[in-house]
Amino acid sequence: MNHQKIDLGIKQIMDQTKPKRKVLKNAFFAFLIGGFICLLAQIIIEIFKQWFEEDIAKNISVTVMVFLGALCTGLGIYDRIGQIAGAGTIIPLTGFSNSMTSCALESKSEGIFLGIVTNMFKLAGSVIVVGVVSAFFVGSIVYLFRVLL
């Protein structure tokens, strides 16, 4: 009985001292900064569409956004943006670039090949596997619906 009172007291103290989550503020900044990243990508697409076909312009813009994400990660900018935006920096393609570059930077002391390359592709490998498996299941479901209907 005595232990229950102590546990209840500790729980009350923890509830009172726990920092309040600012859900609306976090959601607002995630939306704002994530939207800005997507807007930047769209602007890059529109610029490249002036010189290339639309498909090529989109492919080039993906490369540019991955490069910018990696560059900002290497300079420490992406982490500071991520502290403000939260999930808004994870969703766009630059979030994947940030994850890969972060893995590479954390393991650079192990050497170029064994450290940077292998650890960078540990993350990419799991993402690729999930993407391929998801595409297989979604494609199979779409195919079955088309055949059955």
Q: Which two tokens mark 66?
A: 């991955």
What is the rounded CA–CA span in Å between residue 33 and residue 28?
Answer: 9
Domain definitions of the chain by residue range? 18-148
Task: Give the pLDDT of residue 115.
Answer: 67
Q: pLDDT tens digits for 20-36?
A: 777 788 888 888 888 89
144: burial class by Cβ within 10 Å (0-12, 13-18, 19+)?
A: exposed
Q: Is the pLDDT of residue 49 over 90?
A: yes
For residue 3, name the pLDDT band (cuts at 50, 70, 90).
low
Residue 132 amino acid letter: V
Phi, psi angle pair for 58, to nearest 5°:
-65, -40
Contact 104, 120 (CB under 8 A): yes
Looking at the predicted structure, is the pLDDT value of residue 4 above 70?
A: no
Cβ atoms of 93 and 67 within 8 Å: the answer is: no
For residue 117, pLDDT over 70 is answered with no
97 or 127, which is more confident? Answer: 97
